Chain A
Amino acid sequence: MNDPRTIHDYLDGSLSAAEEEALFISLAASDDARVELRSQVRLHHAVKKDLASVVVPPSLDAAVFERLGYAVPPALATPLSVATPNHSSRRRSWLALLLLLLGGATGAGLMWLGLQSPHNGAGPVRARAELPSPAPAAPAPTSAQRIESVSAQHESPNAGRAATSLTDVRDEAAQTQHLTTDVDTISAPDDDPAPVTASWTPIPTVMISPVHTLPDQIRPGASIINEPLTVHTRGPWSVMLDGRALFAGSPTLEETDQGISQRDQFTVGVGYDVSALGRISVLGGRQIMPQEFLRFEDGRNVYYRQAPNLWWVGVGYQRALPELRVADIVVPMATATLGWMETGPMARVGAGIMILPDAPISLQLGIEGTMMAYPIQSVFYTSTAWSATYGVRVRF
């Protein structure tokens, strides 16, 4: 029951329940059968990725409508006639990244407005920082239970081996079970009456959009998105070293003239990958935070404008956004950090890109908005700084 044709029939969804059970037993006992299953599943993966990579060139759309003397529908019209599928896709990706950056800036601005105390310094500041929450976990496969029962029914001298192997088979079969199930459940639109010119069942129009109809395991986009974004052969731990350059804040370094250099800023940290896309890090370093406040001294209010380089520690969450990726090794990401600076609590949001060559070392570039609240004689002030960050990660 473990010949390639049977496995093919299983992936095709044309085996009976009894035949499937027999196949699972065979798969559990045979390395060769599992290799064959994996090979066929890989071919299905490859085909679906190949299909997802096919894009109708915009020039071809235009050619069709031109030959018919029709106007190109707005949805198909491209603003730039020279656009190619790759270019337009990248343009969309950049646009999405730009929107993300703007969103981050807006969010930080709103946080700043919410925390900014009145100029006279009266009253405490109420901070409401809403940070992005991690994405919900993907639902677990649900098709493994039947294999469990097969295992229980076939206790044998090889049961120990089979049980161990079934664990592997379960995962593989659970994935492939999705494949057959979903292929079968693709249904034709039911709004068409009985055919007149042909009795052929309508081809499901959903197939033009395989992302919505194919199982996770062979869904091209999901497969790419869920792929670990860093070096596969390394573990989940990483260390980081970042530099920082303040480019917006009041007062500026030049205005304060305190002899502090941009190069004095840094971040070091240790990260742990909590998922394929998410990483939690413990971070610390120094950052320049512009400050403006009034302090009552010697019977008078003294107005301070300074930009000290403050020590800080915090916990950060970084999430990769591969759906916005612009190249295979360039992946956008977003970050959020909560921590404590020398003078008070801080929150930070950011966005940027990770450059992930197939090596233990990766690079990161980004923009971050940091807000800090600090008390001066029982009055809370806030400080905001926008920085460009650049750094390196080493995975181990």
Chain B
Amino acid sequence: MSANLTSHTDTELFGMMQRQADRAEQAFGVLYERHRQWVYAYILKVTGRADEAADVFQEVFLRLVRAAEQNRSEEVANLPGLLMRITRNLCLNHVRDRKEMVELEDLHLVTDQQSTYERDELLGLISMALDTLEVEYREAFVMRLYHDLSYDEIARVTGSTVPAAKNRVWRAKERIKQLLAPVLAEFERL
């Protein structure tokens, strides 16, 4: 059923959600399949918690549907941009409400271990290192290194400037590299 719509662009699919009630469900299914992975990865990395990520993730797509229902005339030419804005805003709300961060000592306790790390443990360390960053740095780092957004795009999404975006990514990267230095070589073996 939805396979018939897979060749449509994001804009066309969102337009169906806005104006074609009989095809809205299928169109949403295709859009969801197309974007769910990066949306979830972004939320997981920025919030740092799977349970919160699940809540935010659901809310993102509920809001996408709501956006289509509430605005049936305006064409959305850049659906990923819209999704990213929704996702980022919801993530920021969650993270700022939480206002708690991983203690650096906790991370050092883990990274100081000299044993061979398991894959999941190593990958978990990245999340812990991300959690030590201020959310502005964390989201810039995730957008750039995880999702390959350009600095121009990062600046637009975050409402900052390109130099500021570059600086945030650089400082976040330095911080994470410093924190993970004892175990970075282990990643090569994964």
Contact = CB atoms under 8 A, between A and B. Distances in A.
Interface of A: 4-5, 8, 12, 14, 39-40, 42-47, 49-51, 53-54, 56-57, 60-61, 63-65, 67-68, 70-71, 73-76, 183, 186, 189, 191-205, 207-209, 213, 223-224, 227, 232, 328, 358
Contacts of B93: none
Given A192-B78, A197-B78, A203-B153, A358 B116 contact: yes
Given A50-B127, A54-B44, A54-B45, 11 more contacts: A39-B184, A42-B188, A45-B188, A47-B145, A49-B187, A53-B123, A75-B33, A76-B33, A202-B79, A203-B83, A205-B35
A56 B37 contact: yes
Contacts of B173: 8, 40, 43
Contact of B119 (A43, A197, A328): A328
B38 A227 contact: no
Contacts of B119: 53, 328
Most buried by B among A51, A53, A73, A213: A51
Most chain B CB within a 10 A radius of its CB, from A61, A75, A198, A328: A198
B108 interface: no
A49 to B, nearest CB: 6
Interface in B1-27: 1-2, 9-11, 25
Contact of A208 (B37, B123, B149): B37
B53 to A, nearest CB: 9
Contacts of A223: 190
A53 B10 CA distance: 26
Interface stretch (B98-106, B132-140, B175-183): B175-183
A200 B81 contact: yes
Contacts of B150: 201
Contact of B81 (A186, A203, A328): A203
Nearest to B120: A53
B62 A195 contact: no
B187 A45 contact: yes
B45 to A, nearest CB: 8
A182 B40 CA distance: 23
A191 B61 CA distance: 23
B174 interface: yes
Contacts of B25: 70-71
